[in-house]
Structure 1
């Protein structure tokens, strides 16, 4: 290398400063938990058993204090309490909608805040969780997209959102009580703040914890990851996480999708659909969900519906039609109900399920595309938002 050659370094490879003080065990995979216990004095021969015991206390019983882990020796519990903590994000505020939807604003390390939404339905309870503080994607119809990315969440901060919701729902089993199979929180959707596939490793580790049979124990089919189309990571999602896949699609031409979902300029509709046709888990029993927000006069014509059918041909799929949830300053309007029904009928008669999502939690800004804490909300005018979305030219 010449003396004048620039030196570049990937910041992700730089050594990280070790955390000061006790280590939080929440978010460590089983292997990481075992290694951490050994590194801090647990004899290697005991490490597998201790990992299993601590894991069950944290993720099956929801215990946060080592004193309550009664199948561990008292001296060992005291040693653990000196070196480790079991901490989840702090709930700053909770709002409950008229329809029962709950929105939590939770604080994470650094004082940042993210939002989590619980949606109760007759046959399920779905928790919508966030993977980043803010978002890089600037999707023009999405309220979260008006907030710049601050940082990725850790695996502990992601699974911690699930634990916080279970706290609030009173869903941890009572010690010694018979097991109750009724689930208030039965499904997880990664559809909150951020693009999950831009934080792949942390999302994968958190969802592996959620699926572990000796803990929260959710079936992989009850977890749905929604991506705007980070094509290189799509196959990895099937291989390393194995959950259900949803695509924020929202348009049937590259011209319109470039404006609605700017990541389309990097990986266009054709590249995205090629990746989905090759998706290892796509089958009649594990269909890919295409999310399609209905925007008046933008993407809701009969021609759009017919183009959509042609585009997804050969992909086991269902189409979720989402009435646009208007937010202050939004540059779009919701499609008329009659127009949404006409669009849905064209999809349905082509042989695809085309449910129309019922807007939930609109009175507390908890609806799809609205997640953004008021404390960090950028005060942008409608004109500014429209300009950034490329809608003025």
Structure 2
């Protein structure tokens, strides 16, 4: 059974050298194999300078770890692409590639489904199926690079799933993706989005790696927030703000507050006033996201004048705010639209 074998893409280069020692091989073989993995080797037979005996041994105890690309959808509006990847167990996950002129950003998933239950999000419709392993998170980026021929320079962990609900695998993924002879994506170019799992926010801060943290706020009022996001029943807004301030203090990184604007739900002056009060003097930024359409929900976005009025109210109170341009919405690739939908 493949799932009892070890996935080599779950290792950093140093860990792969250690693994070689464990199976009775010289550590330098780990460096060679690592190099082949990042040159795109799909099978052990692709690794030309590895002796046949070692390739056969590796076949018995390990596998490289490859996702299958099921479908690629291209936006007609911008240069966004959405990918449907098949996992070894037949589950499907989605990733999005956003091609800006100066950078390529990948929005990647880290669970199959999600159990957080946010009302505006398609990813959570069927609950959590399972966590993704580090290699399954990583390989989304590798497959996007192979398809586009471009280097992914920026990452957002904002696809399906809650990264802090899959914390151990997310931690290992962050180590692997930053490895200098691997994808070598700088921590400052990585943003992890959470709906606010407070204990893990403190653990993430203690790792002291300078990734960017984005918190899904969506309402500054506990009761209203719990209506939109069930996770808010467990964690109060004031405690979230403390956890964010702790993250800023530990990492010296600005925290982004994601705020999906929903017509008639969380777009009033009372909300903008309370956000201004909560975030006063904080090293932060507010990202306003006019809600994207999800078939099963009847939420609507406010009209443009209302959106900009909300932004202006925050900026007047010296809260840096931008209105996010939703890329890929015509292919179901925008914020909140990712799901386990098969062709």
**1:112 is the counterpart of 2:95:** no
Whether contact under 8 Å (1:65, 1:86) holds in the other structure is yes
Shift of 1:238: 3.0
Q: Secondary structure at the match of 1:232?
A: helix
Separation in 2, partners of 1:18, 1:114: 20
Unaligned runs of 5+ in 2: none
Aligned to 1:92, which of 64, 70, 77? 70
- Where 1:137 maps in the other structure, the secondary structure is coil
Aligned to 2:32: 53
CA distance in 1 between counterparts of 2:200 and 2:266 reads 27
Give the equivalent residue in structure 2 for 1:303.
270
Bigger CA radius of gyration: 1
Shift of the alpha carbon at 1:289?
Answer: 0.5
Distance apart, 1:235 and its partner CA: 2.4
Shift of 1:110: 1.7
Alignment partner of 1:144 is 2:110: no
Q: Residue 243 of structure 2: which of 253, 262, 275 is its match?
A: 275
Given that 2:2 and 2:63 are in contact with CA atoms closer than 8 Å, whether structure 1 keeps it comes out as: no
For residues 76-109 of structure 1, the C-alpha deviation after alignment (integer angstroms, 9 at most, x for no partner) is: 4454455433222111111111112111111113
Q: What TM-score, normalized to structure 2?
A: 0.92
Counterpart for residue 42 of structure 2: 64
Q: 1:333 aligns with which of 300, 307, 320?
A: 300
- Confirm or deny that 1:358 pairs with 2:300: no
What is residue 252 of structure 1 aligned with on the other side? 220
Cα contact 1:66–1:77 (8 A) shared by 2: yes
- What runs of 5+ residues in structure 1 fail to find an aligned partner? 1-16, 172-182, 377-393
Cα distance in structure 2, aligned partners of 1:84 and 1:255: 49
More strand by share: 2
Deviation at 1:161, TM superposition (A): 1.0
Which consecutive aligned stretches of 4+ in structure 1 deviate over 3 angstroms post-superposition?
17-20, 29-32, 65-84, 280-283
Decide whether the 8 Å contact of 1:88 with 1:161 is kept in 2.
no
Paired position in structure 2 for 1:162: 141
Q: By how many angstroms is 1:189 displaced?
A: 0.4
Q: CA contact under 8 A between 2:205 and 2:251: conserved in structure 1? A: no
Q: Distance in 2 between matches of 1:29 and 1:232?
A: 27
Count of equivalent residues: 340
Q: What residue in structure 2 maps to residue 177 of structure 1?
A: none
Q: Secondary structure at the match of 1:199?
A: helix
2:342 and 2:301 mapped to 1: Cα distance? 26
> Which stretch has the larger CA shift, 206-215 or 191-200?
206-215
1:231 aligns with 2:209: no
Are the counterparts in 1 of residues 19 and 30 from structure 2 also a CA contact under 8 Å?
A: no
CA deviation after TM superposition for structure 1 residue 26, in Å: 1.3
Separation in structure 2 between the aligned mates of residue 88 and residue 349 of structure 1, nearest angstrom: 49
1:317 Cα deviation from its structure 2 partner? 0.2
Asked whether the 8 Å contact 2:16–2:31 carries over to 1, the reply is no
Q: Name the residue aligned to 2:231.
A: 263
The SS at the match of 1:277 is helix
Residue 312 of structure 2 corresponds to residue 348 of structure 1:
no
